[in-house]
A and B are shown apart, each in its own frame.
Chain A
Amino acid sequence: MFIKDFINAITAPYFLITAAAILLLVSLKYPDKFYTSKSGAIVFACMFGFLGISVLDPNFRLIVTKADNVPIVGMLFLVPFFTWFALREAVRNDKRIAEGKPLVEQEETADKVLTWPDLVYTELICMVVLTVVLIGWSMALQAPLEEPANPSSSPNPSKAPWYFLGLQEMLVYFDPWLAGVVFPGLIIVGLMAIPYIDTNPKGNGYFTLRERRWEITTFLFGFLILWILLVILGTFLRGPNWNFFGPYEFWDIHKLEALVNVNLSEYIWVKGLGMGLPKNPIIREIFGFLVVLGYFLLIPPLLAKTWLKRFYQTLGPIRFHVMTFLLLAMTALPIKMVLRWLFNLKYIIGIPEYFFNI
């Protein structure tokens, strides 16, 4: 009971996201400690053990065995597995590089084999096995079908398809125009821009961490924390009214969370300066504008001068500014999260009159 309560408590979004981010960064700092076969075995044993014991809990079972959630349970294992696998390979390669040995991949690089049968045959086997898996899965689990569509009765919670739950989770922190339109757009643009921004010639065609530490850290933070983790959070830990529910908690529709979020303008005008909010929204939100503009316009040159000087030099101004813009957009999400958790900040700029809220 106590353990369940404890787990319910530590899966709260603010804790879960922070802890996962810290864990990721630390593990990347000391990859040769974290990404070994032994540690992998321990972690996965723990995960399976956790799942095995937890399904005994009715509330946990209810949410995990919901037909559409089963693939996400699979993903919950697959993504960490491949992360661990890729980084273990990378650690090995890094070690070889350090020792002056050829890479794991390189050992065979020059050898070419005939596509028939080595590739074609393995592909065929792969297909057959996959078909078997699909059929087995389909026999074991019936596709969900609920009551006929009824636009007048919205289920609570109403969830988007699971792969968009990361976006729906972002809605907690940002308005739809950002979480639903701008961010997805930026994600696509950002992904497409990667090859053009990343001019590091190393690490092409093999697993490595040391040679691409910056790129990999950034990508993993974005992919694992800001996407996969949010999907999982949205699937398993968000219940009615999009409230947080621990994995062993019953999804009670009456659970309420206090909505006490405050805009930046109120912080400054009302709490800071002790005066009423100005009528004109531009003046009212002037500080927000300053913050946002400052964030996107002042930080890049500042970085170029200081911390990322090296990048500025190698990338040139265009690449550098595109990169910093995308990075800043990405870090806007964790920043807003932290601000929300710490200060109950609702909007930095809040002009609901024009749906312009950031």
Chain B
Amino acid sequence: MSSETPNEGGHKKPPIPTPAKKIPALNIDKRGDRLYEVIYLHKWFAISSLLLFGFTVAMVMVDYSREWKRYQREFVRLQIQRTQRDMQQVSSSLDRAKFQQLQQQLQQTRAQQQQNEAQIDKIQKQLNDLNAKYYAADENYRFAKAVYDSDKYEYEEAVATKRSNAPKLAEKLKETEKRMNDYKAQSEKLTLDIRASNTELDKYVGKRNEIQKDMETMLADYTRLQTRLNTLNPGVIVTSFRNAPVFDFMNPSERINQIIVNNLYNDQPFKAIPRVDRCTTCHLGIDQKTYQDAAQPFTTHPNLDLYLASSSPHPMESFGCTTCHAGLDRATSFQNAGHMPHSEEQRKEWQKKYNWHEQEFLETPMLTTNDIQAGCYKCHNASPEVPQAAAFNSGRDLIRIYGCFGCHKLPGYENIRKVGPDLSTVSGKLTKEWVRKWLANPKDFKSQARMPQFWWNSNNSGSTGNTNWDKRNAAEINAIAEYLWSKSKPKQLPPGRTNGNAVAGKQIVETVGCFGCHAIGPIQEAANQTQIRRRHGFNLENQGSKVSQSWIYNWVKDPTQVWPETKMPSLRLTDEEAANVAAYLSSLKNPEWEQRPLPEIDQAALDDVTLELLRTNSTDIEAHEKLKDMTAEQKNLFAGERLISRYGCFGCHNVPGFEKAQPIGTELTEAGSKLISQLDFGFLPIEHSRRAWYEQKLKDPRIFDVGRVKRPEELLKMPNFRFSDKDVEAVSGVLVSLVKDPVPLEMRDKTPQAVADGRQFIAEKNCRGCHLIEGVGGDIRPTKEQAQWPPNLNTEGFKTQPLWLHSFLKDPGSVKLRPWLTARMPTFHFTEQQAATIERYFSALDRVDYPFISTDVETDTQRLSVGADLFMKLQCTSCHPTSNAIPPGKSPEDLAPNLQLAHERLRPDWVLQWVRDPQKIFPGTRMPTFFPPNDKGVPVSPFPNILGGDVTAQIQAIRDHLFITVGGGRRAARSGTVTK
């Protein structure tokens, strides 16, 4: 194939363009018929090959040195350090004297052994022989058995198929069986012989073995650590060989750890991708208690009782990591895993340390440690609260209190009454002028107003384009007020008393329990106590400038007569008390605000607004014509109605004419998975993350319009709630928790329905404003002395009898349980069903029977008398009265509940637990234990001579005395004993 001739005949040879005068190429002599000198090529080849070698090595190194390997190496170092430390500790705590003694003994026995060497050798030899024989015999036996088994099968098969040679086979079987048994006997005998020889040998060497064993036990811990250390640190060569590139495919010590949770998927479009959490590749000490003080990423999880441990409610194997924390499951580098800093300092630190930067492509960045409670909700969504997640729950409380669900669809807030007052009777309560001033800036009137500000916000203040917002806002507000008044049908109320005493009223307001739901002005922060629930009712600040004293009287006397749907319960105020309260509340005034002039109404602005609204469904010319025909009143009514519909006032208020209107806000059911590209950040220089957007939105909802040129009807509409930073954080925490991340059924919260319903209900009624329920609540506490705190309702279901609880809930005023308490349990006028919801909730929480229980007490006379004795000796009556009278010399706040009521109020079993250890049921209670535990944690009675010091029996006796003798309860008939 060396032919070089171009295809002749195929094509014409192209003509040579220029005269072909052959001119020798430069330096041709030197090169011969070469283009390049070979040495020149060699040189280039050498250079490039060296480069290639270098680059290949570099490539392998670059590829090999992964971030996670570094952490794993570090962790091994840490483990070695710790093991060495442990070893040192173990060795220093070793009983050296004893160890030396053992060593001496060992030497002694050795010496003894040497004397009997001949004997030992003999036995040893014998033993070896026996072992050899045993081996042979045992093998014979096993082979014989194999033959027997196969013969057996043949025989059985022959019998079954009725073959003629069956008898012959039976004989053969017998023969093999005999042989097998012979061998068995032989080997068994040899076993016995070996055992005997061993025993004999033991006589000489047994002692030594024993000592050796003792020494081993002493050193067991040490040896274990030593082994561990050897495994951890098998030497540089082994480690580096195991983990060397290429060789690391076999059994490297540096390897990926992963948790694969059944049925847990990353919900990607098209397909669910199995979730593979590789976090533990670097977080190596996360589930081990001993790394609490280690640096990240090796630190132990801060709450192993609740997470990771296999005994905890969230074991690592079945929940993984990203279920709660989010982040990218398969990533094994700091950056890609989606770590998110919790603060600006941390962000800076990470940028420096890990070269961290925000990941633009990650849909689910990790929740920061501040936000981590937001990760709970995807599973814990059966009831309105997540256990132990205080910050998250307060966010949910805020949403309920401020009524975000009025405009936005939010999961868990379905079928809740609108938060604002009914406006269908507004003209009977307020004045139009007040409403106009109020709407302009509610917070100006009441610094803690829940009503948000719709006008004079960042996108409708000053003047933009052709719009003078001052004039326009005034016109809009006026139109709305006019509309409301035109539709309002005031309720006829009896004239209220106005002759109350404000000072006495103040006393009542401060003590009777108003502050469980209300506050006056800003709420003073208290350490360790949330007071969010004190925003449940509207703030009473400047109430006197808002409504008339007569109206207040009617309201506090019986709120339902004014507004049947109100959440406000009746506090059973007497007429005089009500008059005093009314006097006090109407004395709370803001004269400066009252004197402020009303904004003037500019007809041109009203025309502008009306025109703009008219234009939405008719042409310009038509709109102008319509406008011309309208009177000012018509304009106001028309504009008012359309504006209410634009701003969605009916989301929070009952507005006549808007009973069936649909909420106007964006649905927030999956707010936590909303694509960042769908969030309009406007021109704001804020971080482009969901969290940051929500926070900004909550701080100033309309700021995204700033810098935009928009017509008034295109502007953002969400009003400004003027949330504090803390509130913003809590609410946005809830929003980011609303993710679209399907978790398998087995992970989901299994809160019983009764508990979920109960929680929902007590949240609606704000029970926790006063009471501590499930360890949460008691918001009223900072306003009261500890002695005046409303009761903790821990174990309420277990504690109280259903009948008593039911009658109490239906009519709390009838029971005088704690006469010293100034706060009153209000009358909520619960329906039977509502009361049952609460009762069922408490029972379900404590897992006790409801509603049918036995309250009879099984006892006998002797026990009753012991109980009476103990009751006296323990001086229970020092604090507990047994009648309604207050003992002399005592003030009510020194007292405990009247024990006479116990038998019909308390469950007998509860009393037993309560008396044994009251702190366990109500931490901080003033009820002491009389049976403090000793060193071993066993309760001890101060009266060792009564009933043999049996604590359980003593407590039972006290209980029986309390129920039968003090209370006069029923005794259960006990078989075999006679009751009189």
Contact = CB atoms under 8 A, between A and B. Distances in A.
Within the complex, are A and B direct neighbours (CB within 8 Å)?
Answer: yes
B34 A118 contact: yes
Question: Secondary structure at chain B's binding surface: helix, strand, loop or mixed?
Answer: loop
Contacts of B48: 125, 128-129, 132
B51 A132 contact: yes
Contact of A102 (B14, B23, B59): B23
Contacts of B363: 147
Interface residues of B, number: 38
Contact of B28 (A111, A114, A148, A211): A111
Interface stretch (B36-44, B74-82, B661-669): B36-44
B132 interface: no
Interface residues of A, number: 42
A318 interface: no
Contacts of A153: 675, 677
A65 interface: no
B52 A117 contact: no
A146 B361 contact: yes
B18 A139 contact: no
Contact of B269 (A102, A150, A203): A150
A38 interface: no
Interface string A109-120: 011111001100
A71 B105 CA distance: 81
A203 B15 CA distance: 10
A112 B2 CA distance: 13
Contacts of A155: 677
B249 interface: no
Contacts of B34: 113-114, 118
Interface string A94-137: 00010010110011101111100110011011001101100110
A19 B371 CA distance: 55
30 contacts: A100-B18, A102-B21, A103-B18, A112-B33, A113-B33, A113-B35, A118-B35, A121-B45, A124-B45, A125-B45, A128-B45, A129-B48, A131-B52, A135-B52, A135-B58, A136-B55, A138-B59, A139-B62, A147-B361, A148-B268, A148-B269, A148-B273, A149-B269, A150-B269, A151-B270, A153-B677, A155-B677, A156-B677, A201-B14, A211-B17
A204 interface: yes
B14 A204 contact: yes
Question: Secondary structure at chain A's binding surface: helix, strand, loop or mixed?
Answer: mixed
B49 A97 contact: no
B25 interface: yes
Given A102-B20, A107-B23, A110-B20, 8 more contacts: A102-B23, A110-B22, A111-B25, A128-B45, A136-B55, A139-B62, A153-B675, A155-B677
A32 B242 CA distance: 65
A280 interface: no
B33 A149 contact: no
Nearest to B28: A111
Interface of B: 14-15, 17-23, 25-26, 28, 33-36, 38, 41, 44-45, 48-49, 51-52, 55-56, 58-59, 62, 268-270, 273, 361-363, 675, 677
Nearest to A97: B18
Nearest to B364: A147
A336 B50 CA distance: 54
A102 B21 CA distance: 7
Interface in A187-214: 201-204, 211
Contact of B49 (A106, A107, A128): A128
B41 A121 contact: yes
Given A117-B41, A122-B41, A211-B17, A150 B59 contact: no
A199 to B, nearest CB: 11
Contacts of B14: 201, 204
Interface string A151-175: 1110110000000000000000000
A149 B266 CA distance: 13
Contact of B33 (A97, A114, A122, A138): A114
A94 B92 CA distance: 95
A135 B51 CA distance: 11
Contacts of B41: 117-118, 121-122, 125
Nearest to A151: B269
A218 B675 CA distance: 48
Nearest to A211: B17
Closest 9 CB pairs of A and B: A147-B361, A128-B48, A135-B55, A118-B35, A146-B361, A108-B25, A121-B41, A150-B269, A132-B51
Nearest to B273: A148
Contact of B59 (A108, A110, A114, A139): A139
A203 B18 CA distance: 11
Nearest to B328: A147
A135 B58 CA distance: 9
A148 to B, nearest CB: 5
Contacts of B62: 139
B482 to A, nearest CB: 38
A122 B22 contact: no
Nearest to A119: B35
A149 B270 contact: yes
A125 B44 contact: yes
Contacts of B44: 125
Contact of A135 (B23, B26, B33, B59): B59
Contacts of A121: 36, 38, 41, 45
